[in-house]
Amino acid sequence: MKKTRYFTLMIFAIILFGTLAGGFYGRKVQATPPGAEQIRATDIESSFTEALNIVETHYVDEIKHENLTKASIQNMLRTLDPHSNYFDSKEFQELQSEQHSQFFGIGVTINRRNNRVFILSAIKGTPAEQAGLRYGDAILKVNDKPAIEWSTQEVLEHVRGPKGEPVEIEVERAGVPKPLTFKIVRDAVPLPSIRNSYMIKPGVGYIALVGGFNHTTEDELLQAMESLKSQGMKSMVLDLRNNPGGLLTQAIKVSNVFLQKGQSVVSVKGRDKAIESRVYEATNSNPEDIPLVILINRSTASASEIVAGAVQDHDRGIIVGDSSFGKGLVQTVFRLPYGSGLTLTTAKYYTPSGRLIQRDYSGLSFYEYYTRHFKKDGAKEPVGEKHRTDSGRDVYSGGGIKPDVEVKLSEFTTIKAKLFNATFAFARELTTGLVPGQSQFKINRTTFNHKLTEDEYVINDKVVAAFQTFIANKPDFKVTDAQLNENLDYVKRRIREEVVTAAYGTEVGTQVLLEGDEQTLRAINELPNAKQLAEARNRK
């Protein structure tokens, strides 16, 4: 208890002195009179210590210092900006593991559907696959703790753990009368940046760089491109949708693959003299000249916005989709005692044309900042300062990266939400052979690294009729015939996606969805324009 209380006071003092002095670990701002920082810091630290003493002495329940420390530091940092953050020892270890593209667990893709957490796929070569966990298994218990009410994140927290330690998982499997129990030893699980890579149509390669920018990102991209070129890739769609960002160094390396030597990638500007303002330039004397379209959306953030912004400013490729998140603050990672750490904003990102990526967060709560960018139809985005690309096109700062070709996805209606859950429940029974007359859809095991063809697992009228019978007597799923017919293409694609996921894994299942994805289809259609852009660049 003494150690945790001391830690609370120490961390508070570190952040306090660094914040008041305009930097970290007591750096001073020259305009502040000598000694002023110490006076203010002493007053505030005394107040904090007194408040902590009162809480410890008089609060009705026993104090958990770790929770108190975490909450106080996080709330303090959030008064600065939405991205400075504190991590306890467990979270900090997970952060470092993700940056190294792996963690320790069992190797499953899971999601909460129909009020339970289900396994969607076991990852190839991981303990989960070797143990026999499979698509559609509903997680009932983890280490004898009931997990039915848990969120996806709660299940992940209990399943992950130290390498070499066992975890026991109890599941319900469709068609099996009693729960099944698996005792699995945790091991390293890959966490790659690139989650999908295949020939989406003849001559067109698709690469989904959606897993963040980690230490292996550039290598993964180059390997994926080399593989697709061997399959005849002549143009490329790079999907950065839902990419949360990551390491600045890797964003620069990925941009360097496509930009000419000497072209700027990003500039970093900080207030603290110890954080040097710097312009990062491409160093590749033989960059890829393949026609390029990049997909972005509202969840494309940080490092992925650096790549999209650099490509757009230098007219190297066409950006398709929706405006990106708008996260242009640079965090420096500081290690703290007892294995914890914090990320503190120390600079800002600017694109080659001088655009500030970061959108305004003044006057917004933490919740508002992360939800406000999802605007209703017709709402106008704020327009920032105007800049120009290499060819003279107008681009604007603030609010993230705006696409060259804007494509809004169709609305996810209440009916589609019902059908999403219903198709999963149906496919779970379909792939275990429980749907009469549809034995051809029974999946005994997942086959990885499969190239999907159009004639596999076709969802015909008989399957749709079986689905209609399945949902007829289920109030949670029940939709009218008119509603079903109106969304028939969506239902067919969803059922096929689930079946293909069971048969070949989540990566191949996602390929089914991309066949009807408006943004992806538009990206493919824009490739001739991207080719013209690349040719014009090569003529310079």
Q: Which residues are designated catalytic?
A: 302, 313, 327
Instruction: Provide CB contacts within 8 A for 462, sequence distance 6+.
Output: 437, 438
CA distance 105 to 108: 8
- Kindly give the pairing relationship between strand 166-172 and strand 138-142: antiparallel
Which pair of tokens denotes residue 32?
A: 């502040």
Q: At what angle do helices 461-472 and 488-504 cross, to 10 degrees?
A: 100
Helix, strand or coil, per DSSP, at residue 183: strand
Closest among 350, 300, 290 to 320, alpha carbons compared: 300
- Could you say which DSSP state residue 457 is in? S
Which H helix or E strand runs over 321?
strand 318-321
CA distance 342 to 92: 8
- The distance from CA 361 to its chain's CA centroid, rounded to whole angstroms, is 21
**Burial class, 446, CB count within 10 angstroms (exposed 0-12 / middle 13-18 / buried 19+):** buried
What beta strand segments (E) does 351-416 contain? Answer: 386-388, 394-396, 405-406
- The length of the chain, given as a count of residues: 540
Which pair of tokens denotes residue 29?
A: 């701002």
Instruction: Provide CB contacts within 8 A for 188, sequence distance 6+.
Output: 102, 103, 104, 163
Residue indicated by tokens 């939709």: 479
Alpha helix (H) residue ranges in 179-336: 217-230, 248-258, 303-313
C-alpha to C-alpha distances, 134 to 109, 123, 156, 444, 523, nearest whole angstrom: 10, 10, 16, 9, 34
Closest among 83, 26, 99 to 343, alpha carbons compared: 83
Question: With the C-alpha atoms ordered 25, 31, 37, 38, is the resulting torsion angle positive or negative?
Answer: positive
